[in-house]
Amino acid sequence: MRIFKYKIFEKWAKKQGMSNVDLKKAITEIEKGLIDANLGGDVYKKRIGLHGKGKRNSHRTIILMKIEDKAIFAHGFGKGEKGNISKNDLEGFKIMANAFLNLSDKQINILIDKKNLIEVF
């Protein structure tokens, strides 16, 4: 499983103090069936707890993911920022999922070189 962060998500996650370990843990939980919401079209919503505060005061992330293939953290927001994403946002994420999750490794490497995607190690 390859895990990536979209460049806008990367900036947001840094501000929140979210680590690559946190992101990898979230993907592992999804693979084990611990999904907060399957929004359809390979788009998932997953809560990531803040260090020492648990998931009750957590951040919400939107992940574009094909199980056992690749996952891309596309968007994040705090619990207090908004209750959920809009229908228009969801449709946009579904379009992104279709585009990004069907890229070849060569195309992904180009996006990494251009700093549009950051691989999580």
Q: Where are the domains of the chain?
A: 2-119
- Average per-residue pLDDT in the chain? 91
Confidence of residue 106 (pLDDT cuts 50, 70, 90): very high
The side-by-side arrangement of strands in the sheet containing 37-40 is 37-40, 43-50, 54-66, 70-78, 2-6, 117-119
Percent of residues in the chain assigned helix, strand, coil, to nearest 5:
35, 35, 30
Residues 54-101 have pLDDT tens digits of 556 689 999 999 988 999 999 999 877 777 899 999 999 999 999 999
What's the token pair of residue 1? 């499983």
The model's pTM is 0.92
